[in-house]
Amino acid sequence: MSIAMDTEHRAIAALLALKDAPDDVLLDQVEAIGERAARHMLSDEAARLQHTDQAAAMDCAVLADRIDALIRPA
């Protein structure tokens, strides 16, 4: 596994660990990773997992949507 891929998986794991955290805690992590990078990593991971682990894929997709809603309030 490449260093970049390992770093990406650690970032995804860090975000998923915060899926039930308060919004401000999640946003701090998103800022550390970068908003676009966080959303793209989660979306890519959801697509990658959709046929092998639907629960994890759903967690990634829901978290990406939550980040969008927090960053771009209606």
Tens of pLDDT, residue by residue over 24-38, are 999 999 999 999 999
pTM summary value? 0.84
Domain ranges of the chain: 3-71
> Tokens for 62?
């829901």
Using the structure block, give the residue that is written with the tokens 């629960």.
Answer: 55
pLDDT of residue 4: 67
CB neighbours of residue 39 within 10 Å: 19
3-class SS letters over the chain: CCHHHHHHHHHHHHHHHCCCCCHHHHHHHHHHHCHHHHHHHHHHHHHHHCCCCHHHHHHHHHHHHHHHHHHCCC
